[in-house]
Structure formats: C-alpha cells, structure tokens
Chains A and B, each alone.
Chain A
Amino acid sequence: MRVVIAEDSVLLREGLERLLSENGLEVVGSCSTAEDLLLKVRSYAPDVAIVDIRLPPTHNDEGLRAALEIREHHPDVAVLVLSQYVELGLAMKLLAESAEGAGYLLKDRISDVADFVSAVRRVAGGGSAIDPIIVSTLLSRRRSDDPLVELTPREREVLELMAEGRSNQGIADKLVLTLRAVEKYVSSIFGKLGLPSSGSDSRRVLAVLLYLRS
C-alpha cells in the first residue's frame, strides 16, 4: 500500500514515516506544503494521502483545500486528514457527498499505532475513518423525542463504531462479538432509526452522520 504524507512539523512527519514503514506501508513521498502534496499525488498515484489540515504558508485551510482537490480530481486516491482540533463542520465539508476513501482524525490518534494503521488501511481501501470525537459530539445532544433513546447501550456502542467507519468485522473485533451478533445489532439500529440499510461501510457512515446531524 503506497502512502504520501503532507505534514509541516518535521518531528511528526518523520515519526509518521517510520510508523507507517514499520507497519508494512510504503511511504512513496513526504512533504510539508500543499503544493508539493498535489505534485506528489499526481506523480506517484498513491493509494492514500495523509494530510495535515494546517499547512504553510498561512496555516489556515491549505491542507483541507488540497484534500478537497484530491478528492475531486483524483478519486482513486484516498485522503486521510489529520488535525489538532476536530470540527464537525470540517468533517462535513470533507465528506460532502461521500465518505468513500475519506478519513478525518485527531492527530493524537497516531499514538495508538495499531488502531491508526488500521484506519489508514481502511481509508486506503475505500472505507472511511471518522474521529470518535465527531461521533460523540453528534451523539451528545439530548432530544426528548429522539429515537436514539430507544437504543440499548450495546446498540449505541455499535452505532458509534459504525459512524467511525468500521466494518462489521472491525466492530466485532473491537467489541469481542461474533460477526453474526454485530449484523443483528446493525439491522436493529437501522430499524429503530428508520434508516434504509445501505450497502457499503462508507455509505453507511455518511447516512449515520447525516442522520445524527439533522
């Protein structure tokens, strides 16, 4: 699996490079600017680009703009955005139409190496990775008439992991359940929320996020 990294902090960039190569991913290019990133994406056609949301020169939105441009012009290249802060508005901007091959994680997640690497692999493979903070932010709002209150605690856990972009197998591993049990929970959740059960994992992510945001 081929990876391009855009991160302007040298420490973090080198850490990422080491972490990914030690875990069997091939870092084909790393850089510190959005311009360089686009060049490397065009030249190397990587499976996934890992992008810091704040890049020079202004450290405002260069990273996100580059990410959106990759999503638009290189649909085969997955994008994982890393940020110091997690913002629902930014996640929705990045996912806009589809959560396929897109991820948005807090930088802190890097230190949980196994989880992070699996998120990179998932995104590179066309799945999604949404930071748990986004999901918990959306779930934190109480609404008296909310169908969410009808979910059992276990179903809620499954919903959170689903919104993060995990597959049924991933959820089963995380919660130490059988795949069959997870499938049962998922269909029960969709039933209670009145959502049509959709095919791919990433389509499911967007559906759940949009449901939670509305």
Chain B
Amino acid sequence: MALWAIGLAGGTAAASSLAFALTNPAIGSDVGEPLVIAVLSDWITLSYVLCGLLAWWHRPASRFGPLMVLAGFANYVTTLAWTNGDVSFTVGQAFDFVPPVLFLHLFLAFPSGQLSGRFDRALVVVAYVTAVGLELVRMTLGGFGPHNLLEIAPNPDAALVVVRVQLLAVSAFCLTGVAVLAARRRRSGRPLRRSLALLVNAFALALVMIALLFVAIVLDGPAIAQIRWATFVTLGLAPVAFLVGLLLARLARSAVGELVVGLHAEPGPADLRDALARALRDPSLTVAYWLPEFGSYADLDGRPVELPDDDGRTTTLIDRNGSHVAALLHDPALNDEPALLDGVTAAAGIAIDNARLHAELRARLQELRGSRIRVIEAGQKERQRLERDLHDGAQQRLISLSLDLSRLEDRLGADPDARTSLDEARREIATSLEELRAVARGIHPAVVSGHGLGVALEQLAARAPVPVRLTVTVEGRLPERLEVAAFYLVSESLANIGKHANARSASVDVARANGLVIVEVADDGIGGADTEKGTGLRGLADRVEALEGRLRVWSPHGGGTRLRAEIPCAS
C-alpha cells in the first residue's frame, strides 16, 4: 500500500516539475527548450522512483530500492529551483548537486544498498558535503536572482570560482568511484553475472557522462546542450538496466523448471554441477559434498575441498531431511536472489544426494587405494630388510667360514681323512650358500633395486628355458614397487612358459607410453592358458591390479600366449 502511495507521489512530482518548467520560461534560456529539459528531468525522476519501487517490492530487505526512490525524489527536488516561491527556490537550488552524488552512492552501494568499506563511505560523505556545502556557500555569494533567501554578500567572481571547484570536484568523485569499482572487478578475476554486468556498466557510463558534462561546463566546451541531454538519457537508463537485471533473474527462476526437467533425465553426477551452474547463471559455481565419515568436504572425485572464507566467494549450505549434504561455492551476487538459490537447491535435492554418495564412494576408494599401496610398500620394505639381513649376515659369515676352512686345509698337511672331511664341510657350505641365495632372491630381487629393471631382466632372459628376445625401452629408473612387480611378472611368466607353453621362443617387451608402463611377454607355444584355473595368472593379475594397472592375457589354442600388463606411472 505504502509503495503505491510513493509511486503516486512520484507521478505527481513529475507532473509538477513539468508544470514548473512550462510556467517559467527563464529556465531553458541557456540550455534549451524548457519542455525538453523538463521531460529529460522527469525521465530521470520517474525511472528512478518507479524502478526503485519495483526493487523495493521485489526485495523488501534490500536498501537498494529505497535508495533509488530517494535518488528520484532528490532529482525532483532540484526542479523546485524552477519555481518562483522564495523557499521552494532556495531549497531546490541547494539540492542542485545532490543527484549526481546520489547516483555515485547508488553505484557504489550496489547490490546490497549498503556501502562496503571505509573508502567507499568516505568518498560518498565527502561528495555529499562538497555538493551541498559548496552550493550553500555559492548561494550566499548571490547571482541566483530575487528568490534566493541565502544571498548575503554578492560577489560574482567568487561565485564563479566556487561553481568551478564544485563541478570539478564532483566529476572527480564520480570518476574515482568508477575506477575503484573497475579495479575491484579486475582483482576479483571473475566475470560478473550477465544481469549485473549490464547494470554496473550502465551506471558507470552515466557517472562518466556526468563527469564529462561537468568538465565541459567548466571549460565552456562545445555542444554542452547535447552532452547534457545524453547524460540525462544515460542516467535514466541505469534503472532500466536494473529492471532488465531483475527480469533476467526472473527468467533464471524459470531455469529451475528446466533444471527439474534436466535432472529428470538422470544425468551422471558429473553433469550435475554444469546443470546447477546453468540454472544459477554462475559459470564459476563449484559444488562440495559433505562426507560425514571424513568430517570434511570433497569434490565429486572424493578429493578434499576447503571451503573458502574470502569475500570473493560465497558458500551456501544445502541440507536435506535434517542432515547436511553439500555446499555451493558461488558468486556473492547470487545472495541477492535467495529465491533462485532455494529453488535450484530444492529442485536438485535428490540429484545432489546421489552425487554426494558418489563422492563418498570415491573418497573411500581413494582411501582404500592409498592403504593398498601403503601395504604393498610396507611389505616390500620388510622383504628388502630381510634380504639385506641375509646378505649382510648369514651369507657373509658362511663365505668367511668357508675361507677359514680353506686356509686350515693348507696347514693340515697330508692327513687324507681330515682333508676329506674339510672338503665335505666346504661343499656343505657352498650348498647352503646356494640355497640361501635362492631364498633371498625370492624374498626380494636385490638386483632390481640396485641396478634397475633392465639389468635384472637380462639375467632372467638369459636363464629362461627358451631363447628370449628382450627389449627394454624404458629410460632411467621407475618407482621401485613398479620395477619389482614387473620383475616378478616376467619371472613368473617365463617360468610358466617353461612349464606349460611348449614354446620354441619368447619375447619380453618393456616400454613406456601415455603415462603407462607396458610389460608384454609372448611365446609361440601351444596357448590355451586359463586365467581361472590355477593361481599363477590370478596371482600376477593381483600384483598388477594392486598398482592400479590391469593384466590381459590372450591365449588361443595353438596360437601362443601373450600377456600384457599396463601399469600407470606418472612421468
């Protein structure tokens, strides 16, 4: 109701200023036809009052609407200077410079209606003081005709100086405001949403036009009347841009409907973010899913996500059935469209829930993967330690013992029995060493960690039951767990070839391509190897799969056997 009254007041005001202008032929003398001036002025008054009212009605909580209405009425008040009443004229003239400052105020206060930051507040306050204060000073210096109540000491020269200072100062404030906001946008590094960009650009243009107009007046430049008209038109366009923005937001709300339809087609969890970003018109949107078990947020792949706490991003939490589900990280401007946010999050409810489960699964998988690799590595370290203990301990002692026996033999003289016993003992030691070596090699192939896969495979190939063509095109060393896995893979495959394949020759190829290490063992034997029967191939597959790789076997009857392992290896 109150808003209707204000609207009516705005209409009346516009009509009355039109009347002021038409009854006072003096006003257009320096700038153009009174009718043109009045229409342009009314254009501003009405567009601000009406658009402000719409904004007010649309978002009662925001101060932006009331501020716009105020700007409209302030513009009307300036037209009181066209009247012949002493009081009304004085008041109108005192307000002469207020509208530009109000526009600056609006520009900086967008979209909340409140100024953020000390600098913005200081700039606006100083601008108001300059606009009103200097106007009052100028009025005391006279030059405004008979209705000026404030005239005290007429001094046209001083008045001219004051008005110039006023014009230059206000244009400087306007340009500063535009520059500050432009710098802020640049720093934030993200594009504004389309509806906002339109408004902000319209306001910036209007403020620049004001500055241009004022400077042109001071310099007494050409075409002042045209610049003035253009400035007025632009000023009036800003609220229209605001309206368009509101309309776009409404359209966006219809995007909720599209979202519902889109989600009905059951998109994969990966498409959900894009659908939400489209519906919210915020390409920078990210979704973080809440994983209660981990007590943290994660992205769709289960990787942990930290919620930002800077001004540049805003977080909206999504709850479903009383429990926390996810968080949307979006442009702060979306806060002005709570209805849209609510609509979108409600529409996407089940899909978000599903995506959350997906994220949780991935997070668990990653955890499992990590622990599997840790288990493998711990086992490998332990095996390596065992092998080292054998190598440094028992094996060296046995060799040294055998050496001692040999030296003893030299001193024994010619006792044949003793020599035989010593010889036997030495042979025993040699056998023990042989066995220990086999055990140690089974525990951990030391040559792999010492000298790399290529060197280690050479002995395997040379020892193989059939001639093997060995091709290793991997440069440098690979991660040890990978080298060890590849070594066992080749070792066991060659042993299998000896046992089952009845082959005449075999080949071993180790290469690296596209972030994978590829190990391929092939023979020309009878084929028919069964991945299900026996644990041999299954064991190899386990070894490869533990490293996130995969093992494939081709073994047609009579067509040889080919075994190919692909193991991921970041280069």
Listed stretches B64-72, B165-173, B404-412, B556-564; interface member: B404-412
Name A64's contact: one of B403, B437, B440, B451 (CB within 8 Å): B451
Contact B397 A11 (CB under 8 A): yes
> Contact: A108 with B430, CB < 8 Å?
yes
B402 near A: Cβ within 8 Å?
yes
Scoring A12, A85, A90 by chain B CB atoms within 10 A of each residue's CB, the highest score goes to A85
Q: Is A54's CB under 8 angstroms from B450's CB? A: yes
- How many Å lie between the Cα of A134 and that of B391 in the bound state? 20
State the CA gap A185–B79 with chains docked (Å): 126
Residues on the B chain within 8 Å of A108, using CB:
399, 402, 430, 433
Bound CA–CA A64/B451 (angstroms): 9
Q: Is A59 an interface residue (CB 8 A)?
A: yes
* Known A-B contacts A9-B392, A138-B462; A87 and B447 likewise in contact (beta carbons under 8 Å): yes
A111 touches B405 (CB 8 A): yes
Cβ of A143 < 8 Å from any Cβ of B?
yes
Assess whether A137 is in contact with B441, with CB atoms less than 8 Å apart: no
B218 touches A (CB below 8 Å): no
Chain A's nearest CB lies how many Å from the CB of B277?
52
Q: Are A89 and B459 in contact (CB under 8 A)?
A: yes
Instruction: Tell yes or no: A112 within 8 A of B by CB.
Output: yes
Known: A84-B437, A111-B403, A137-B463. A59 touches B388 (CB 8 A): yes
Find chain A residues with CB under 8 A from B441 CB.
85
Return chain B residues, CB-CB under 8 Å to A112. 406
Residues in B with CB closer than 8 Å to A97 are: none
Q: Is the CB of A113 within 8 A of B462?
A: no
Closest B residue by C-beta to A109: B399
The reply to whether the CB of A92 lies closer than 8 angstroms to some CB of chain B is yes
CA–CA, A144 and B433, complex, Å: 34
Do the beta carbons of B403 and A110 come within 8 Å of each other? Answer: yes
Contacts of B403 in A (CB 8 A): 12, 15-16, 19, 110-111, 113
A19 to B430 CA separation, bound complex (whole angstroms): 19
Chain A residues 10-31 with CB under 8 Å of chain B are 11-12, 15-16, 18-19, 22
A90 touches B446 (CB 8 A): no
Would you call A111 and B402 a contact (CB within 8 A)? Answer: yes
Residue of B with least CB distance to A16: B403
Q: Bound complex: CA of A94 vs CA of B426, how far in Å?
A: 30
**Which chain B residues (405-460) contact chain A, with CB distance < 8 Å?**
405-407, 410, 426, 429-430, 433, 437, 440-441, 446-447, 449-451, 454-459
The answer on a CB contact under 8 Å between B451 and A89 is: yes
Check if A183 is an interface residue, CB within 8 A of chain B: no
A11→B400 CA distance, assembly (Å): 6
Q: Which of B495-525 contact A (CB under 8 A)?
A: 504
Contact with B along A143-181 (1 / 0, CB 8 A): 110000000000000000000000000000000000000
B450 and A61 within 8 A (CB): yes
Which of chain B's residues 238-264 have a Cβ closer than 8 Å to chain A?
A: none
Bound CA–CA A59/B384 (angstroms): 11
B467 in contact with A111 (CB, 8 Å): no
Alpha-carbon distance A137/B405, docked complex (angstroms): 29
Residues of B within 8 A of A137 (CB): 459, 462-463
Asked whether B482 is an interface residue with its Cβ less than 8 Å from the other chain, the reply is: no
Flag whether A140 is at the interface (Cβ < 8 A). yes
B97 to chain A, nearest CB (A): 81
Residues of B within 8 A of A85 (CB): 437, 441, 446-447
A-B complex: 9 closest residue pairs judged by Cβ atoms: A89-B455, A89-B458, A111-B402, A9-B396, A11-B400, A60-B450, A15-B403, A87-B459, A88-B459
A interface residues (Cβ-Cβ under 8 A, vs B): 9, 11-12, 15-16, 18-19, 22, 53-54, 59-61, 64, 84-85, 87-90, 92-93, 107-108, 110-113, 137-138, 140-144, 213
A-B contact pairs, 16 of them (CB 8 A): A9-B400, A11-B397, A54-B446, A54-B450, A59-B450, A87-B451, A88-B459, A88-B462, A90-B447, A93-B451, A107-B395, A113-B406, A113-B407, A137-B459, A141-B462, A142-B466
Q: Known contacts A9-B396, A12-B399, A59-B392; can you find 11 more A-B pairs with CB under 8 A?
A: A11-B400, A16-B403, A53-B450, A84-B391, A85-B446, A88-B458, A88-B462, A89-B451, A90-B455, A112-B406, A137-B459
